[in-house]
């Protein structure tokens, strides 16, 4: 049997796994083991207090805890972020990003959930890769641990949050992402507050409803990008599977259960989705909801690709959005000059020899 990776486990999972191998492991011991390798980032899973030799031997036989290989670290031109390129044991490449927060010395980590993506969003470099496979929870946690440890050991900083907005559609691999979020928020795991973990989706309605039904404690962002049905299908082909009204209904259900502002992500594309028709669509479809709109600049390194909105166009769009009376947050996408903005790094390296 292939050893189980500790990074993807909760304490109860480790207890059950060891019992299945005929080995004894108490819940307290499981917490100590996972705290060592995940919380502390140690290369040794041996509990600090009174470790049992039999347990340590069993851990070496039935579990593993190695990390993903770091191929590259690419800082952005403004010094706000560092994008990491990881390689899994099978050679698959994935990305994660350390992002500086307003409070000095505090960071969040943007995590990928898949190698590539099946959603084929027209403006996304990752979407053009297609989907290779889902990332296992241990791979996602490994990326988090590496970035967190480097922020702590090299910068004296603290990673206090995580967002699933990297490569892939998180709700396309729902169970793995929720398991990862649980490990990240576990006291014996990543020790990230549940409210500081955010999961983004391009709008998979069944999963949004499941997330709502399960009353998951993590925050949700829905990537809308257009309220004009035909345009949204062109930009996000997955939108063709679900009527826009059904997506809005799922957002409304979530908002009622969460009792919080619903965050809508909007990839701003010059000359495409910054007009009055989009603002009117937001007002008509979601006007009665408490919203927060995150504006994200498009990243497209193709000569004939989508362009960013000009400063004047963006300013006009921001003025138009004021009629909604909701917070509008400008999210800066960094790293475009080095082809390391969202989805670009793995896309440009995927065909390179290693």
As a CATH number, domain 69-349 is: 3.20.20.70
- What phi and psi values does residue 157 have, to the nearest 5 degrees? -100, -175
121 is catalytic: no
Q: What is this structure's pTM?
A: 0.92
257, two tokens: 């259960």
Judge whether 95 counts as a catalytic residue.
yes
Mean pLDDT across the chain: 91
pLDDT, tens digit, for every residue of 257-300?
998 888 999 999 999 999 999 999 999 999 888 899 999 999 88
**Is 354:71 a contact under the CB 8 Å cutoff?**
yes
Question: Which H or E element spans position 151?
Answer: helix 137-155
What count of other Cβ atoms lies within 10 Å of the Cβ of residue 152? 15
Helix, strand, coil percentages in the chain from 3-state DSSP, rounded to 5? 40, 20, 40
> Which stretches of 216-302 are DSSP H helices?
229-235, 244-258, 276-286
Summarised one tens digit per residue, pLDDT across range 79-125 is 789 999 999 999 999 999 999 998 999 999 999 999 999 998 988 88
Three-state SS for 87-111 is ECCCCCEEEEEEEECCCCCEEEEEE
Domain boundaries, the chain: 4-61, 69-349
Residue from 117, 121, 124, 342 carrying the catalytic annotation: 342
* pLDDT tens sequence across 305-347: 899 999 999 999 999 999 999 999 987 655 444 444 444 455 5
Give the active site residue among 95, 150, 169, 186. Answer: 95
């Amino acid at each position: 049997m292939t050893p189980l990776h500790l990074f993807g486990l909760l304490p109860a999972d480790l207890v059950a796994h060891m019992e299945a191998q005929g080995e004894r492991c108490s819940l307290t011991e499981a917490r100590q083991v996972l705290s060592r390798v995940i919380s502390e980032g140690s290369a040794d899973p041996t509990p600090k207090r009174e470790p049992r030799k039999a347990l340590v031997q069993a851990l070496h036989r039935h579990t593993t805890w190695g990390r993903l290989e770091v191929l590259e670290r690419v800082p952005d031109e403004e010094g706000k972020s560092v994008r990491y390129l990881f390689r899994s044991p099978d050679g698959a490449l994935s990305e994660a990003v350390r992002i500086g927060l307003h409070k000095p010395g505090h960071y969040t980590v943007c995590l990928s959930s898949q190698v590539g993506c099946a959603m084929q969003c027209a403006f996304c470099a990752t979407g053009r890769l297609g989907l290779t496979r889902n990332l296992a929870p241990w791979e996602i946690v490994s990326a988090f641990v590496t970035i967190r440890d480097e922020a702590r050991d090299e910068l004296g900083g603290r990673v206090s949050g995580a967002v699933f907005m990297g490569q892939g559609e998180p709700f396309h691999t729902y169970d793995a992402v929720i398991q990862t979020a649980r490990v990240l928020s576990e006291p014996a795991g990543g020790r990230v507050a549940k409210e500081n973990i955010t999961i983004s989706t391009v709008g998979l309605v069944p999963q949004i409803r499941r997330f709502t039904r399960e009353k998951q404690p993590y925050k949700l962002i829905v990537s809308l990008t257009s309220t004009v049905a035909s345009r949204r299908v062109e930009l996000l082909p997955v939108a063709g599977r679900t009527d826009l009204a059904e997506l809005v209904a799922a957002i409304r259900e979530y908002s009622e259960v969460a009792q919080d502002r619903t965050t809508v992500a909007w990839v701003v594309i010059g000359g495409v989705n910054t007009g009055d028709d989009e603002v009117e669509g937001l007002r008509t479809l979601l006007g009665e909801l408490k919203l927060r709109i995150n504006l994200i600049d498009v990243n497209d390194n193709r000569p004939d690709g989508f362009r960013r909105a000009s400063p004047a166009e963006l300013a006009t769009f921001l003025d138009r959005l004021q009629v909604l009376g909701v917070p509008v947050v400008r999210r800066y996408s960094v790293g475009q000059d080095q082809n390391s903005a969202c989805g670009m790094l793995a896309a440009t390296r995927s065909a390179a020899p290693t």
